[in-house]
């Protein structure tokens, strides 16, 4: 019963993430006006706003002008629902769950925006860092956030110097701060290494096309967060 409630909350949060993903890069107000079709601007009725259900019953088209609605909408809702379910499975319900659910929801929104624009808004990034460091081990989380952000900034200076072009984005440095606070050390380092591995194949396939990096950082952060025991054992083997 509780899981069903978590799942439905996840779908609803995913629906709100879609609003953030659509409106923040356009610098629109995220609360007003009410949801409308971006094409015909017709205001949506409440039954056009039910996560997942509306997209399916409308067959992926605007109810008024029949413009196709991006599959991004149900996809983000589904992913958020799944995200909430796995976090609940790991943490149970409590403050830690709420904090993790917010941070990973923000990382999902940042991933989608990076995917669309190859840039991420500071507002969501700074919100993720703030929520990630507020936890019982605040000082440690804050130190790890600074360490990771500093390390990433340094890496960026070196890469940019040797590649003779701007390497990585400032957004990646802020994501690294969130990773440090969420995963600690050495977990955050495992996640960065894993993200590079995950990004390798898409980068090769894309050849000269740009590949957004934030989705891989976010995915790797989630994997290391969920399987921290496995990575701790791996670390113990490496250091033994
Ligand atoms: Zn329309």
Distance from Cα 59 to the centre of ligand 1, integer Å: 13
- pLDDT score of 153: 92
Q: Does residue 234 fall inside a structural domain?
A: yes
Distance from Cα 69 to the centre of ligand 1, integer Å: 9
* Domain match, 168 and 67 both: no
- Final residue belonging to a domain, choices 77, 93, 109: 93
Rounded to the nearest 10 degrees, what angle do helices 214-226 and 95-117 cross at?
Answer: 160
- pLDDT score of 121: 95
Residues 168-218 have pLDDT tens digits of 788 999 999 999 999 999 999 999 999 999 998 888 888 777 889 999 999
Residues 210-222 have pLDDT tens digits of 889 999 999 999 9
Q: Tell me the mean pLDDT in the region 137-149.
A: 96
Q: What is the DSSP letter of 50?
A: S
Strand partners, 61: 68
Band of residue 38 on the pLDDT scale cut at 50, 70, 90: confident
Distance from Cα 75 to the centre of ligand 1, integer Å: 20
Q: Does residue 104 fall inside a structural domain?
A: no
Ion ligand 1, residues whose Cβ is below 5 A away? 37, 39-40, 62, 64-65, 67
- pLDDT score of 1: 75
- pLDDT score of 207: 77
Looking at every residue in the chain, the average pLDDT score rounds to 92
Burial class (CB in 10 A: 0-12, 13-18, 19+), 179: buried
* Domain match, 82 and 130 both: no
Lowest-pLDDT choice from 62-66, 145-149, 158-162, 224-228: 158-162
Q: Does residue 35 fall inside a structural domain?
A: yes
Domain span at 124: 117-240
* Alpha-carbon 197 to chain mean position: 18
Band of residue 156 on the pLDDT scale cut at 50, 70, 90: confident
The fraction of the chain above a pLDDT of 70, given in percent, is 100
* Domain match, 10 and 47 both: yes
196 three-state secondary structure: helix
- pLDDT score of 203: 84
Distance from Cα 67 to the centre of ligand 1, integer Å: 6
* Domain match, 143 and 237 both: yes
- pLDDT score of 32: 81
């Amino acid at each position: 019963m509780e899981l069903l409630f978590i799942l439905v909350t996840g779908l609803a949060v995913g629906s709100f993430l879609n609003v953030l993903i659509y409106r923040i890069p356009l610098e629109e107000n995220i609360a007003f006006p009410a949801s409308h079709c971006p094409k015909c601007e017709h205001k949506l009725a409440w039954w056009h706003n039910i996560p997942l259900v509306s997209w399916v019953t409308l067959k992926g088209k605007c109810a008024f002008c029949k413009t196709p609605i991006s599959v991004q909408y149900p996809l983000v809702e589904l992913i958020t629902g799944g995200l909430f379910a796995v976090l609940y499975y790991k943490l149970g319900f409590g403050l830690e769950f709420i904090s993790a659910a917010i941070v990973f929801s923000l990382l999902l929104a940042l991933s989608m925006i990076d995917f669309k624009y190859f840039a991420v808004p500071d507002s969501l990034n700074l919100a993720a860092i703030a929520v990630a460091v507020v936890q019982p081990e605040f000082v440690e989380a804050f130190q790890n956030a600074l360490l990771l952000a500093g390390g990433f900034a340094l890496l960026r200076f070196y890469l940019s110097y040797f590649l003779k072009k701007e390497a990585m984005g400032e957004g990646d440095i802020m994501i690294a701060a969130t990773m440090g606070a969420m995963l600690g050390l050495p977990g955050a380092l495992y996640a960065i290494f894993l993200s590079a591995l995950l990004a390798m194949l898409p980068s090769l396939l894309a050849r000269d096309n740009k590949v957004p990096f934030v989705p891989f950082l976010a995915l790797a952060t989630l994997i290391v967060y969920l399987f921290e025991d496995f990575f701790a054992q791996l670390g113990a083997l490496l250091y033994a």
